[in-house]
Amino acid sequence: MKMLRDSFGRTFPYIRLSITDVCNFKCGYCLPNGYQKDKSDNRKFLSSKEIERLAKGLSELGVCKIRLTGGEPTVRKDFFDIVKILKNKTGIKKTVITTNGYRLDKIANQIAESGLDGINISIDSLNRETFKNVTGHDRLPEILKGIEKLQQLNFKNIKINAVLLKGINDNEKDFNEWSKFVKNNEIDFRYIELMQTGDGLDYFKKYHVPAKVFTNHINKNGWIFQTLGRDAGPSKNYINPSFKGKFGVIAPYSKDFCKSCNRLRITARGDLRLCLFGNTGISIRHLLQRDDQLEELKDLISKQLNFKKESHYLELGETGLMNNLSTTGG
């Protein structure tokens, strides 16, 4: 089968598709002042029909997994219609989402029924006060209730992501809370190392801490490193036979992080981004307007891959086009 391949031999079975920039949370590292409409860009977000054409083209280019993200993907009124389309009309094998979970307790049933193949929920701390301080919303209990509901409905493939923040959640107390959680729940928990963004330089300077503070903790506690599958994410995972769940670490500043890159991104307004931080990104939306543009669309995406760079060069302070992760789809 045809595969998307770049000039460094990397293949791309995985797409992260933002379906909206809008978000109702105010995470300090992402949208500290909440979502603000970009007045310089009045293009609407991709419609469900445009998403359908895009996903069909991608599936014919060997993409097997699409992650819906944002902004907060579940704020879109047609969110479940989009999931249905991806599942039934496009040939994409796995559809998963990343969400802040703010309505999870209300939509757990619909999520389970939708056929979604996985859900990543962002929870920066199991401490209610810390959660509220980071996100600007006191919704941790409802989110945890939502997770319980999903488990009762036997929904598989639940992951939790937290951004590791110096002086906020990088302490033994937080690590131990997550340990207890992962011991009793068949859920993977991963810390993401804070990334510098165009808008967030001061925040980064204040709160960035290397992921090794957490890996040191798990190494001391008998966790075993696990190897990755083809469409796996960037997380290095660790298992422990006496725990139901797994731990993981996403460390974008680690040496060789980009060597295993297997994903491309598409923004909510239909720009292809070759890297979360890359300066390269073109609009592919003009080729999502009619069904007979499929071949042209596939050709454009394949050719663009020649421009994908070897690394994100984050360690040099490059942030490319990315002001915050809500616009590029974290």
Compute CA distances 228 → 113, 220, 254, whole Å.
28, 22, 17
When asked if residue 330 is in the footprint of ligand SAM (CB under 6 A), the reply is: yes
Sites for ligand SF4 among residues 59-78 (CB under 6 A): 70-72
The residue within the footprint of ligand SAM, chosen from 22, 85, 192, 258 (CB under 6 A), is 192
Compute CA distances 249 → 192, 235, 285, 306, whole Å.
6, 5, 34, 29
Q: How many residues bind ligand SF4 (CB under 6 A)?
A: 12
Cβ at position 29, least distance to ligand SAM in Å: 4
When asked if residue 23 is in the footprint of ligand SF4 (CB under 6 A), the reply is: yes
* Residue 155: count of CB within 10 angstroms of its CB: 20
In the complex with ligand SAM, the residue whose CB is nearer, 57 or 252, is 252
Sites for ligand SAM among residues 85-114 (CB under 6 A): 98-100
Nearest in space to 100 (alpha carbons), one of 24, 212, 7: 24
When asked if residue 72 is in the footprint of ligand SAM (CB under 6 A), the reply is: yes
The residue within the footprint of ligand SAM, chosen from 123, 195, 249, 314 (CB under 6 A), is 195
Compute CA distances 112 → 14, 119, 153, 214, 235, whole Å.
22, 10, 7, 32, 24
Tokens of 171: 């302490």
Element (H, E) at 144: helix 140-152
262, 11 in Cβ contact below 8 A?
A: yes
In the complex with ligand SF4, the residue whose CB is nearer, 69 or 179, is 69
Sites for ligand SF4 among residues 104-133 (CB under 6 A): 122
- Residues in contact with ligand SAM by the rule CB under 6 A: 23, 29-30, 69-70, 72, 98-100, 122, 161, 163, 192, 194-195, 197, 200, 325-326, 330
